[in-house]
Amino acid sequence: MPPTYAAAPTYAPVSAADRVRAAWQRRHATDYIFDFWTAFGWSLLTCGIYSYYVFFQLMRRSRDHNLRRVELLDGATAFAWDRCNERGLADELRPAFQRIGTQMAELRQLTTEFRDPTIWLVLSILTSGIAHVIAYILIDGDLVRHDYAEGAIEAELSAIYERLGVSVAPPDPTRLKSRHNYVGRIIATLFTCGLYGLWWLYDLMVEGNRHFEHNWRWEDDLARGIQSLIAA
């Protein structure tokens, strides 16, 4: 008689709403909020050692925030698409979903670029801080690319969810920032023997903090909107 085996466990697929909820709840693990003066004080007290932790967190939060937002926005788009199909709105809103797809490709592209925080930290130590400057340029450029892409997605999703009968306030277009003047900042850092680098660091911290706070307000509206559609 052939041996019998226990059936392999089966797992229910994660719904689009659950993906949004999980990404929404994970934001305090990815969206690290800096206080410049606290970081500066600890760096002084530890003779600069704490500054390497700050650098690591700058790189980590830029990467992990984008990964989380890809999951949240993709889940929100999938949920909206399902509801549009149920209500016969798919053809009407298809161009908006196609525009979202274009911008999602930009966010996914960012996930493939070389941003591993541990490797960048090692590079910074080995290059006596030269990697800091390169990383500052990458962090700022990534934030600009990320914000323009996700802002466009948020605006499209706000309009789609409005069509589905729930209010998700569109993003504030004034939040969009331009790239730093990298050449000017590098020259200023060199001529001030590194002191201007503190101002640059302050800008990176504050701009990232502000970006997260804008995101959180929109995410809260989205989470409420999805919950109301589920409950309807």
CA distance 80 to 151: 17
Q: How many CA atoms lie within 13 A of 55 on its CB side?
A: 28
CA distance 158 to 222: 8
Q: How many CA atoms lie within 13 A of 49 on its CB side?
A: 3
pLDDT the model gives residue 128: 82
Which of 19, 71, 38 shows the shortest CA–CA distance to 201? 38
CA distance 37 to 1: 73
9 confidence band (pLDDT: 50, 70, 90): low
pLDDT the model gives residue 232: 76
- What is the dihedral angle through the alpha carbons of 123, 126, 131, 135, rounded to the nearest 10 degrees? 30
CA distance 157 to 219: 11
pLDDT the model gives residue 129: 80
Which is more confidently placed, 170 or 4? 170
Percent of the chain with pLDDT over 70: 95
Q: Once rounded to an integer, what is the mean pLDDT over residues 23-44?
A: 96
Q: Once rounded to an integer, what is the mean pLDDT over residues 202-230?
A: 96
CA distance 181 to 217: 29
Residue 47: other Cβ atoms inside 10 A? 8
Q: Is 10's pLDDT higher than 60? A: no
Average pLDDT value over all residues in the chain = 93
pLDDT the model gives residue 5: 43
In the block, which residue shows the tokens 């990404």? Answer: 23
Q: Is 163's pLDDT higher than 60? A: yes
Q: Once rounded to an integer, what is the mean pLDDT over residues 195-219?
A: 96
State pLDDT tens for residues 77-114.
999 999 999 999 999 999 999 999 999 999 999 999 99
Q: Once rounded to an integer, what is the mean pLDDT over residues 40-54?
A: 95
Secondary element (H or E) of residue 21: helix 16-25
Q: Once rounded to an integer, what is the mean pLDDT over residues 160-182?
A: 94
